[in-house]
Amino acid sequence: MYDKLKNLDRRWIFLLMFLSVAIPIIIIGITGQSFPEKPTDLAYSTFNAIEDLKPGDKVLLSFDFDPASEGELGPMATAFTYHCAANELNMYFMALWPVGPQMIDNAIENVIKKDFPDLVYGEDYVNLGFKSGGEGVIKVIVTDFLELFSTDAKGTPFNDIPMNKEISSVQDMDLVINISAGSAGTKEWVQYAVTPYPDEITLVAGCTGVQAPLLYPYIPEQLPGLLGAIKGAAEYEKLVFDKYYRDEGKVVPGRYQEGVRRMGPQLVAHLLMILLIIAGNFIYFVEKKRGVQ
């Protein structure tokens, strides 16, 4: 056993990881069954931050991620968009990452156009697009949107869009929702928007697993709600789609269950990781006992 493990080709480990993710995906995809989710406090505070808004309130959604992190953040983007649309909030989409606009397009196509076809572009939602500069963009738009976003993503002048007449800066927003994969992202929104204007700007965020532990010091004073990694996405999906589908006796569409579905392979892969760490330590302790250098 020790010899087999000691000389194990790492490609066997790769194969085990592949199977531990692939097999649950196939089983869950075929059976439609996934593990139950129990939301935690942070998911509730994020959910309630949007629930507490009134129809017509203004929400800025900043999609600061790209395809590399879509696995974790895509479900959050979908759920946030659905929740805001269902609550009849005015949605202002923007991006600090160059590929963010593609993520915005996906959210608009897959959520708003499919389930909220009555929403009118320019009156209920607007896509302001991407601007380069990261924290430099936040620094400008907390006091003046128009200087940078002179048009929306389609080239329509900023003030020609009806819903833009109500805003001049981020401080006019009732809530800022940020979905972040790195820099520029949630940390920069906290540093350059929330901290200088704590009474005017409220921020909730969804972030990757790598970032989540680093953002906990901001909770709850500067960041009242945070969804961390795919677990946060799954918890939030449970809260949103329980309210708008299950509680009304309707079946939740598959495209709104991505986060919950991905928790299945997560569980098996996590168990594999624990097993691998135990196996690695088994080798270590055997070597220590044998006095191997």
Partner 1 sequence: MDRQKLIWTVVFAVGALGLIINALTRDAGSAYVKSVDHEFALVEKGKWVDVESDDALDFDLEGKERIRWSSEEQATYRDYQQSKQAKSDESKYSFSLSMTFGIWVAAMFTLFIMSFLFKDNPFYKFAESVVVGVSAAYWMVVGFWDVIIPNLFGKLSPSFISNWAMPGLSGEADFWYLVPLVLGIMLLWRLAPSGTWISRWPLAFIIGTTAGIRLMGFIHADFLSQIRNSIIPLAVFENGSFLFWDSFLNLVLIIGVLTAIVYFFFSIEHKGVVGKTARVGIWFLMVTFGAAFGYTVMGRIALLAIRLEFLFDDWLWIIDPAMNRIAGI
Partner 2 sequence: MKRTVPLLITAFGGFVLIIAYFIPATQGWGETVAIWFDVLASIAFILGGANLLKIHLKKMSDRQSGWGFSAVTVSAFLITLTVGLAKVGVHPSLNFPDYTWSGSYREMGSPFWWLYEYAFKPLTATMFAMLAFYVASAAFRAFRAKNIEAILLLGTAFIILLGRTFAGVFLTSWLPDSLSGLRIENLTVTIMQVFNTAGNRAIMIGIALGIASTSLKVLLGVDRSYLGGGED
Is residue 262 at the binding interface for partner 1, with CB under 8 A as the rule? yes
**Of the candidates 201, 229, 233, 240, which one interacts with partner 2 according to CB under 8 A?**
229
Instruction: Quote the CA–CA distance of 86 and 83 in Å, as a whole number.
Output: 5
**Of the candidates 2, 12, 14, 285, which one interacts with partner 1 according to CB under 8 A?**
14
Is residue 261 at the binding interface for partner 2, with CB under 8 A as the rule? no
**143 interface partner picked from partner 2, partner 1, none, CB below 5 to 8 A per type:** partner 2
Is residue 119 at the binding interface for partner 2, with CB under 8 A as the rule? no
**Of the candidates 47, 80, 145, 192, which one interacts with partner 1 according to CB under 8 A?**
192
Is residue 280 at the binding interface for partner 2, with CB under 8 A as the rule? yes
Hey, what are 293's tokens? 């250098």
What residues does 59 pair with on adjacent strands?
91, 175
Is residue 115 at the binding interface for partner 1, with CB under 8 A as the rule? no
Cβ atoms of 74 and 68 within 8 Å: the answer is: no
Stretches 37-45, 56-64, 81-89, 170-178: which one binds partner 2 (CB under 8 A)?
37-45
Is residue 231 at the binding interface for partner 2, with CB under 8 A as the rule? yes
Query: Closest by alpha carbon to 205, among 190, 221, 183?
Result: 190
Length of the chain: 293
What residues does 125 pair with on adjacent strands?
91, 121
Q: Select 65 or 80, whichever has its Cβ closest to partner 2.
A: 65
Give the burial class of 62: count Cβ atoms within 10 A of its Cβ; 0-12 exposed, 13-18 middle, 19 or more buried. Answer: buried
Pairing label, strands 203-207, 175-180: parallel
Stretches 40-48, 53-61, 165-173, 210-218: which one binds partner 1 (CB under 8 A)?
210-218
- Long-range pairs for 222-227: beta carbons < 8 A, 24 or more residues apart: 222/190, 222/194, 222/195, 222/198, 223/186, 223/190, 223/194, 224/45, 224/46, 224/49, 225/42, 225/43, 225/45, 225/46, 225/47, 225/48, 225/49, 226/42, 226/46, 226/186, 227/42, 227/43, 227/46, 227/76
Instruction: Quote the CA–CA distance of 87 and 175 in Å, as a whole number.
Output: 13
Rule CB under 8 A: which residues touch partner 2?
A: 8, 10, 13-14, 16-18, 21, 35-36, 38, 40-41, 66-71, 98-99, 101-102, 105, 131-134, 136-137, 139-140, 143-144, 147-148, 153-156, 196, 213-214, 216-217, 219, 229, 231, 263, 266-267, 269-274, 276-277, 279-281, 284
Rule CB under 8 A: which residues touch partner 1?
A: 11, 14, 17-18, 21-22, 25-26, 28-30, 32, 68-72, 74, 98-99, 101, 109, 129-132, 135-136, 139, 148, 150-151, 153, 155-157, 160, 188, 190-192, 194-196, 208-210, 212-214, 217-218, 221-222, 228-231, 253-255, 257, 261-262, 265-266, 269-270, 273
